[in-house]
Structure formats: C-alpha cells, structure tokens
Amino acid sequence: MAEMPLIQVRELYKRFGRQKVFQGLSLDIMRGEILAVVGRSGTGKSVFLKHLIGLIRPDKGQILVEGQELHQGGSRHLAQVRERFGMLFQGGALFDSLTVEDNIAFPLREKTRMSDAEIHAAVAEILKDVDLEGVEGKFPDQLSGGMRKRVALARALVLHPEIVLFDEPTTGLDPVLVRSIHHLIADTQAHFHYTAVIVSHEIPQIFDIATRVAMLHQGVILEVDTAARFQCSSNPAVQQFIAGRLEGPLTPT
C-alpha cells in the first residue's frame, strides 16, 4: 500500500487582481522529506508557502494535511493545524529589540506554560542543536548574517514542529554560508525528523540536500522528481532554468 502524503495540494487556483498566480497547482508532500520548490522569481513560491500554512486562502482547490482540509472547520481548526508548522522567513524576522534568548523563547511563552527555568533550558538546548551556544544575551544586530539565520532556525524549531517551511533561508549569504545553512537544515531535519519545504534560488547547491525538487512555472508544478532525476530532466525549460541560460522556453522578464 502506497504511503499517504502528509500534505496534499489539489488543483489550487489563486489570483491577485489580474495576476494569475496558481492555475491548477497540485503537489504531494511526503512525510519526512526535504522538498525544494524552485522556479523563476515572481512565480509564486513564497505565496505557495503562505497557502500551506493558511496565511492565504486559495480561490479554488484544496490543501489537506493528513487528509483534513486546511480551511474546513473554522478558525480553531486552522489554528490547531498551524501548531504543527514552523516557519523560517526570508529575512529571519527576528525582533531587533529582543535578545537571542527572548527571540527564541517568544513562541514558548506564547504557546506553552513552561516555567522560566524550563524555557531557559529549552533555548540553550536548541542553540546547541544549531551550533550557536553562548549567544543568549546578544541582540540580532550584534550577530553576523549567518548567525542570525541560525537563531531564526532555532526559533522555528524550538516547539519541535512536524513541518518546517523555509522561505529562501540563505538569501544574502555568501556561497560558503549557503552550504553551511543547507547542511544545518539537513542535520536538524535528520535529528528532529520534521518534513521540510524549502523555497530556494540556490541552484545547484539545493540539490545536495533535497529529497525531491518541484519546479513551479506558469501557475503549475512543471516537474517534480528526486534531486538526481530532476537534474537529468529532458524538459528544456527545466534544463534552461538549471543552467541559467537566456535562450530557451523560459522568457526573460
């Protein structure tokens, strides 16, 4: 018997005014995988993540998490489903006025009844998991770009979510730090066993950690396959995108 997808996206349609973003997008996300969502800028990859977590509602179509429709059951049901998700935003979204410890502790204070001592211990433990011990008292502007990404990842993981969404987690980092953050994602995913969905422009580096790759193009998933097979695709649009060539079916804008 085939494994049931953890998340099923079925015939998703979304438009903003005259701009058509999704035009029947369908995709299965399997439990425990690292799925990379790639595609040209402006194709709706970040909008796709916001649909998965229920921040945006589709015009038509379904998003099912373990067979339950995301928007069926009201706001309480949606809030319960969201508790299964963690998210690392593109810029990290750290609070500049809070210390590292308070940034990471924020979801623990909002969503649990843990004592201050328990929260302190949990923050110290998650910082250890992202190789960033001893920075609890620092503020975000005292950290390097790579360190801020690690703090944001720690905050996304501190509640041990089942699913973690990454919106271009390596934006603004040099190639060495890109690989460092990618390997950190792979290591924490192996440790915590979460399902990861990563929106990325880092080609070909993202292929090193992705279980599968899905390419979003013209409102649909143009191709989805294992990272190895995706790179060998016979689709000319996929090959043009991977190579970054101007010539091909992907028209420059």
154: nearest Cα among 110, 88, 249: 88
Lowest mean pLDDT among 58-67, 99-108, 169-178: 169-178
Reduced 3-state DSSP string for 4-40: CCCEEEEEEEEEECCEEEEEEEEEEECCCCEEEEECC
Q: Which residue in the block uniquely carries the two structure tokens 């979204």? A: 93
216: nearest Cα among 202, 200, 231: 200
Residue 173 pLDDT:
85
Q: Which residue in the block uniquely carries the two structure tokens 């010539």? A: 247
Whether pLDDT at 238 is above 60: yes
Residue 253 pLDDT:
56
- Average confidence (pLDDT) over 60-87: 87
Residue 81 pLDDT:
87
Token pair listed for 246: 């101007």
- Average confidence (pLDDT) over 32-46: 94
Residue 109 pLDDT:
92
Residue 102 pLDDT:
94
Give CA–CA dist 228/211, Å, rounded. Answer: 9
DSSP percent split of the chain into helix, strand, coil, nearest 5: 35, 25, 40
Whether pLDDT at 125 is above 60: yes
CA 145 from centre of chain = 18
pLDDT band at 166 (very low <50, low <70, confident <90, very high): very high
Give CA–CA dist 20/183, Å, rounded. Answer: 35
- DSSP reduced 3-state for 175: helix
Residue 184 pLDDT:
92
Ramachandran sector of residue 70 (left: φ over 0; alpha: ψ -120 to 50; beta: rest):
alpha
Whether pLDDT at 135 is above 80: yes
Q: Which domains does the chain have, with CATH numbers?
A: 1-84+161-253 (3.40.50.300), 95-160 (no CATH)
- Average confidence (pLDDT) over 226-236: 94
Give CA–CA dist 20/16, Å, rounded. Answer: 7
pLDDT tens column, 9-29: 999 999 999 999 999 999 999
Residue 252 pLDDT:
62
Residue 1 pLDDT:
60
Q: Which residues contact 61 (CB under 8 A, 6 or more apart)?
A: 9, 10, 11, 12, 13, 22, 24, 25
